[in-house]
Amino acid sequence: MPADLSQVVNTIRAAANIPPQATQFIKNNEGLANIYTFDVKPGVVMVYRYDVELSDKVKNKSLTKGGGDDGKKGLLRDICFELVTHVFENTQGFGSNGKVLFVYDNRKILFTNCRVPALTCEITPDRMSEFCRKFLYNATITFELQPCKGSSHELNLNDIPSALCPAPHIQADHSLRTFFEMLTSQSFINA
């Protein structure tokens, strides 16, 4: 590690303009927390963010958007993950000849370790599990994978300062934080 952890934290805190800790507490609570430390190779280490769209074009209905109750959202997450995994396996890693790894939030956001081409394909009911077929009423689903439009498509894992907010009134780009959160919790997202 290049420096003492407390020095690194203080440097990041100063760069992000984080206010000092609160000192006047009404009550104290004990709790547990965990922390993951990442040792990213020096230099430029890139990940790529993509937008995923899964939709029934006949009904003009998206599986990656919309509300509903928590039970329905959970079912849609399972369906989306199953469909994205199907496309990944049947396109040799989204057209990368099996070189790509991905993390996915089971709705709209997918990160890869290398560039993949934009991809659009249809998933017919005969290629789905019985669970998906029944839930989707035998609909053909259109899968679209596009480079992210809303924020950075390319993220350098060593460029922490770009993910920090220079002033409290400026909105920070949370893409890097989102990637690390998804990387450490993919199994929980799928649960």
Q: Quickly state the pLDDT bin for 168 (edges 50, 70, 90).
A: low
Contact 163, 187 (CB under 8 A): no
Question: What's the pLDDT tens digit per position in 83-118?
Answer: 999 999 999 999 888 789 999 999 999 999 999 999
- The pLDDT assigned to 1 comes to 47
Query: What pairing do the DSSP bridges indicate for beta strands 154-156 and 46-56?
Result: antiparallel
CA distance 165 to 163: 7
Give the residue, 96 or 21, on which the prediction is more confident: 96
pLDDT at 38 over 80: no
Question: What's the pLDDT tens digit per position in 46-82?
Answer: 999 999 999 998 888 999 987 778 888 889 999 999 9
pLDDT at 29 over 70: yes
- The pLDDT assigned to 164 comes to 74
- The pLDDT assigned to 146 comes to 97
Say how many domains are in the chain.
1
- The pLDDT assigned to 189 comes to 61
Reported as type and span, the H/E element at residue 148 is none
- The pLDDT assigned to 190 comes to 63
Whose structure tokens read 């997202």?
189
Q: For the chain, what is the mean pLDDT? A: 85
Six-digit token string for 134? 């029944």
- The pLDDT assigned to 3 comes to 63
Its domain, for residue 35, covers 1-191
Total-model pTM: 0.77
Reported as type and span, the H/E element at residue 93 is helix 92-95
